Amino acid sequence: MSSCSRKILALRIHALAKTFNRCYHRATALHCPSGPPKLSPYDVNCILRTNEHTQEFFGGSVKSYDSNQLASNSPIEDSRSEASCVHTSGLLLGIFDGHGGPACSQVISKRLMRYIAASLVPPDDLRQHVLNGAQSFSFLSCHNDKARCGYEIKELYEKSFHQFANELTNTTLAGFQMHQTLENAFIRLDQDLSREAIEMPSLRTMSVAMSGAVALVAHIDGPHLHVASVGDCSAVLGTVTDTGQWMAKKLTNEHNSDNVGEVRRLLSEHPATERDTVIRGERLLGQLAPLRAMGDFRYKWSREQLEQLVVPQFGEQVIAPYYLTPPYLSARPEITHHILTPRDKFLIIASDGLWDTMSAMQTVHLVGEHMYGKAFLQPLTLPKQDITLGEISQMLTTRKAGLQKKPLDRNAATHLIRNALGGTEYGVEHSKLSHMLSLPQDIVRLFRDDITITVVYFDSEYLRNCPT
């Protein structure tokens, strides 16, 4: 190595060391008495509860759901969506974890469920709705929708939706399969995102195309639960066994380099000469962690398309090394079908910000304990029939014992976030929680990711009596 090369290397090492020391001293300062002021319990509660939402239902297999999210990135790259289908009896709930910015996750959280809801309407009925000028939003009744699209981009999205809906009217009801319906909605929306950016390039369409998002959508209709997923969000079912113990049943697989089957699938789609370059450093082409995602067309478009459309705006570095045989990334979801029983008590769906800190079993235990403890947040009510003083005494004794397990939060998603950030083997530690919520914006991403959670509660009595 020449003296010039050694000097450049030494300068780079010195710069890296300075960056590491600066981040290290900032982080350790947060864990010592001389660090920034600690948040009070009131401050912590305000932060944790800012984005929580609870929705109740009457009739059907779902009693209610709790949802919440906590940002790490600014702006947050996670999105969520929950809605009832207007023309069918299903409930849709989604978690969308963006990367490379929030644009893609925000857009698909608005559009994907509309594609799915329209796909579930019988073709003849759908044809009538389309003829009557139905808009995409008319297929859903959203429960916590705060995102808004600009008029121009909304018009573009409506045009794409109507093209898709018109094609659906030519299908046959006899050929309906839920797996195929969900898969088609995911893939078609991804194709529309690509086409919109190619045919009508703008700041908005290209920002969606160059960012990406993993997505998980659960559809619940009576006892039928379908989960469709691309990427590394996860769904876990909380079930009670015959002996009264909690059991966690995972309904999804992460599409990343830890999934051997997923790696084999990806390698089989490219020449053997690329075996060492398709995945490098546990990432797709050495860059992207999820091996399936929506958007991210820099890993899907041809090299010619990238050179014409993307390189002039974003530079040559947008084309990944060893980009030889695209597409490398798929938006095809993996789908699981589960028939709910009275033993299935709740479903947890969440972005990987939660699963980075907790196992599936830990989350199920926490939500199960929260279910039990939450009952004691309600006022004590006596039964209408005659009751003895001894029975009242027993009720009060039980309530006194239960009050010790009374949770701080009514919302189970908030309860999970609190434990994810402040949990220890002795319970939630306020100082740890305060530190995690006080991290400066320039280093917080080193310690935690965006967290988005939805907990869905099932009606055991309904599931006990409904036909499958």
Task: Pull the structure tokens for residue 30.
Answer: 């947060």
- Residue 254 has, within 13 A of its CA and on its CB side, a CA count of 15
Task: Pull the structure tokens for residue 40.
Answer: 């009070």
For residue 260, the Cα-to-chain-centroid distance in whole angstroms is 22
Q: What pLDDT score was predicted for residue 24?
A: 41
Domain ranges of the chain: 41-465
Q: What pLDDT score was predicted for residue 17?
A: 43
Strand partners, 334: 229
Q: What pLDDT score was predicted for residue 8?
A: 42
Residue-wise pLDDT tens for the chain (468 aa)? 544 444 444 445 444 444 444 444 444 444 444 455 589 999 999 999 999 999 999 989 999 999 999 999 999 999 999 999 999 999 999 999 999 999 999 999 999 999 999 999 999 999 999 999 999 999 999 998 876 665 568 899 999 999 999 999 988 766 789 999 999 999 999 999 999 999 999 999 999 999 999 999 999 999 999 999 999 999 999 999 999 999 999 999 999 999 999 999 999 999 999 999 999 999 999 999 999 999 999 999 999 999 999 999 999 999 999 999 999 999 999 999 999 999 999 999 999 999 999 999 999 999 999 988 765 555 656 666 677 877 767 766 665 655 556 789 999 999 999 999 999 888 899 999 999 999 999 999 999 999 999 999 999 999 999 887
Find tokens 């559809």 and name the residue.
Answer: 219
DSSP characters over 122-180 = -HHHHHHHHHTT--GGGGEEESS------HHHHHHHHHHHHHHHHHHTTS-GGG--HHH
* CATH class belonging to 41-465: alpha beta
Dist. CA 302–CA 83, nearest whole Å: 36
Contacts of 454 (CB under 8 A, 6+ apart): 65, 66, 67, 80, 82, 93, 95, 348, 349, 350, 413
